[in-house]
């Protein structure tokens, strides 16, 4: 029996179906334009559809870019990190460690093997071929500037660093060790018809060959002219032998026999490069200390004591 003062009767509620109902998703229309938009549709509807399509395209491109190997993926953009005290360059052509780079530098000083096949071993890199020539650039700038400063001091002249030397060294070194290898690879592939070497392998070949010039740049500070010239000639011969040892076998077996002229071209360009380094940076100090009066740094002490030993000492 129901009462009039109650809002509902518990007896009646037991007969009602109070279970949750499952509604099909098809009954809810998504707030997304579906299907084709009629040309006669309102501008608002067409604009909404265009914005949604653009959003979908951008979203898809971002997904691809952030996946492994994408340009926006952090792992792909990472070029180096410190790990266990050793500099490691990650990702592709930069996946080398310090020991590998030093080994590849050392092997260029002993050109007795096929450098690409036996040393690079199918894993060329761009880390060493960039940083080794870069080290050569700073070595040339520092050593030539040191020679010039010493010469200016002995001539009792003011000296200020000439940063045009740095720009000149950058142009010469990068052009030879990074630009020329690309042109050489194009000639080897499309003129000679040889496809055994990739552009990265040729760049690695040239880039690592600059190792010997770093040593000579610092040894050129020795104030003995015949020794400096001998070291420069030895470096020229060694680096030339290294390049010929690795370029000639490829061109000798190339389908186009006339492409062997590339060996001569490479040799001539190498000699021009060596001459540019010597006369532009290393020979600037030739004889700079020969026959020059050394300064009496302490100055005259007492009456005429600075002249008691006669003439000033001379560098021999």
Task: Transcribe 196-234 into DSSP letters.
Answer: SS-HHHHHHHHHHTTHHHHHHHHHTTSS-HHHHHHHHHH
Res. 165 pLDDT band, cuts 50 70 90: confident
Ranges 62-76, 129-143, 238-252, 267-281: which has the least confidence: 62-76
- Sequence ranges of the domains in the chain: 37-77, 86-285
| Percentage of the residues of the chain whose pLDDT score is greater than 90 | 36
307-to-82, 153, 154, 290 alpha-carbon distances in Å? 58, 21, 18, 22
Q: What is the mean pLDDT of residues 193-208?
A: 91
Is 90 exceeded by the pLDDT of residue 174? yes
The residue that leads in pLDDT, 293 or 96, is 96
Amino acid 39: pLDDT: 52
Res. 138 pLDDT band, cuts 50 70 90: very high
Query: What is the rounded distance in angstroms from the CA atom of residue 254 to the CA atom of residue 184?
Result: 14
Work out the mean pLDDT of the chain and round it to a whole number. Answer: 73
Amino acid 308: pLDDT: 36
The CB density around residue 109, as the number of other CB atoms within 10 Å, is 14
Query: What is the rounded distance in angstroms from the CA atom of residue 285 to the CA atom of residue 228?
Result: 10
The CB density around residue 245, as the number of other CB atoms within 10 Å, is 14
Please name the residues in contact with 290: beta carbons below 8 A apart, sequence gap of 6 or more.
Answer: 223, 225, 315, 316
Biggest CA–CA distance in the chain, Å, is 140
Is 50 exceeded by the pLDDT of residue 279? yes
pLDDT in tens, 7-46: 445 554 445 555 555 555 444 554 545 555 555 555 554 5
């Amino acid at each position: 029996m129901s009462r009039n003062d109650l809002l509902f009767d518990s007896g009646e509620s037991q007969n009602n179906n109070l279970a949750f109902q499952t509604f099909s998703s098809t009954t809810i229309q998504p707030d997304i334009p579906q299907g084709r938009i009629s040309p006669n549709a309102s501008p608002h509807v067409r604009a909404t559809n265009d914005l949604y399509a653009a959003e979908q395209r951008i979203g898809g491109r971002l997904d691809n870019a952030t996946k492994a190997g994408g340009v926006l993926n952090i792992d792909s953009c990472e070029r180096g990190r410190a790990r266990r005290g050793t500099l490691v360059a990650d990702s592709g052509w930069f996946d080398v460690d310090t020991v590998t780079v030093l080994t590849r530098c050392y092997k260029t000083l002993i050109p007795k093997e096929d450098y690409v096949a036996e040393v690079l071993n199918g894993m060329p890199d761009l880390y060493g071929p960039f940083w080794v020539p870069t080290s050569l650039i700073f070595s040339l700038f520092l050593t030539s500037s040191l020679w010039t400063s010493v010469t200016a001091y002995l001539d009792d002249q003011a000296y200020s660093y000439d940063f045009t030397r740095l720009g000149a060294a950058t142009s010469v070194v990068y052009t030879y060790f990074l630009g020329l290898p690309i042109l050489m690879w194009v000639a080897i592939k499309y003129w000679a018809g040889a496809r055994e070497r990739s552009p990265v392998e040729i760049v690695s070949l040239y880039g690592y060959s600059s190792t010997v010039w770093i040593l000579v740049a610092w040894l050129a500070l020795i104030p003995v002219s015949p020794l400096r010239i001998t070291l420069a000639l030895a470096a020229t011969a060694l680096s030339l032998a290294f390049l010929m040892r690795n370029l000639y076998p490829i061109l000798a077996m190339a389908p186009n026999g006339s492409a062997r002229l590339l060996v001569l071209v490479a040799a001539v360009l190498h000699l021009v490069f060596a001459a540019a380094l010597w006369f532009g940076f290393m020979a600037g100090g030739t004889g700079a200390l020969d026959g020059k009066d050394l300064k009496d740094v302490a100055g005259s002490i007492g009456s005429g004591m600075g002249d008691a030993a006669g003439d000033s000492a001379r560098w021999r």
